[in-house]
Chains A and B, each alone.
Chain A
């Protein structure tokens, strides 16, 4: 899901930055006002955790690979605004040090993986926790949130890929950037993420939340009644 350099034309990647810059600003303001000092080191741990989770490539035999992101799990621990900053740090480090995801695409990649994923998954989790208030129910809610968040990010990534042929096709009919239209990009991305990769994300999110709830580190999970 890490869009490399050269896959998005300038209008799309600039839009990615234009969307992220104000979001990063809001996140900084929110955390400045409300970050519990005890929770502050969790920002660093969350960024490192998300970075590591993304190194576990899951193969589709004979096909492509994908991975979980941990964005919703991080959002449950440090709130969605904290997750925006934590996962953004991981995405920036991946691009700068490891060439995983483009420099031009940092805005677009952060919008998908650090904004859409944590926010959609986190609010789904919060809603589902009200329906399933038990310890197990909360873990299931977290798993569903993880699955949903990953797929929200995958869909947005697929749309970004898929609109490139509409925006940039040469006079000779050749693509200038990502070559596959929406009708190819969306099904290809979604089939993988709705199934295998989404399942991996759900398991990581649900199992870690379950473990934290039962351990003495339960304070890490923000109380469900607490305001985000």
Chain B
């Protein structure tokens, strides 16, 4: 396990750097990824919201939607950055746990 410790540390360091991926698009005024617009954005561009999209959108309430704290309005930049790093760490923990449990389950079934 020790040989993996440096990889987990590297992942934590990368997590601390993730706000670059939050702030840089804001600085350069880049918007959503293509095909990942919110329903209001679509309504503005098209002049209407596609009916099926309107029904499905917002069906799922994620605890940290868009790697940010839930709630309307724009949070302070520093708060957004903190939420982003928190999301990165939650993501590492969740993906790590998922991968670990899967690997253990696969290894146990072999015996």
Contacts and interface: CB of A to CB of B under 8 A. Distances in A.
A66 interface: yes
B11 to A, nearest CB: 5
Given A41-B103, A48-B99, A93 B35 contact: no
B75 interface: no
A51 B62 contact: no
Given A52-B14, A176-B51, A177-B53, A47 B95 contact: yes
Interface in A144-183: 157-158, 161, 168, 170, 174-179
B84 A61 contact: no
B52 A9 contact: yes
Contacts of A195: none
Given A33-B110, A188-B34, A179 B99 contact: no
Nearest to B17: A56
Interface residues of A, number: 72
Nearest to B70: A99
A3 B34 CA distance: 10
Contact of B52 (A62, A92, A103, A177): A177
Contact of A7 (B35, B62, B102, B110): B35
B29 interface: yes
Given A37-B107, A61-B29, A46 B99 contact: yes
A45 B67 CA distance: 20
A210 interface: no
Interface in A203-222: 217
Contacts of A42: 4
Interface string B24-57: 1101111111111001001000101011111111
B67 A176 contact: no
Contact of B95 (A37, A59, A90, A192): A90
A98 B91 contact: yes
Given A3-B35, A43-B102, A168 B52 contact: yes
Given A47-B98, A61-B30, A99-B65, 19 more contacts: A2-B36, A5-B60, A44-B98, A48-B99, A49-B14, A51-B92, A52-B18, A52-B92, A57-B33, A64-B30, A64-B32, A66-B34, A67-B33, A89-B98, A98-B64, A157-B35, A175-B50, A176-B53, A179-B42
18 contacts: A4-B36, A6-B55, A6-B56, A28-B106, A32-B109, A44-B97, A46-B99, A57-B21, A57-B25, A60-B30, A63-B30, A64-B31, A64-B32, A99-B65, A103-B59, A176-B52, A177-B50, A185-B35
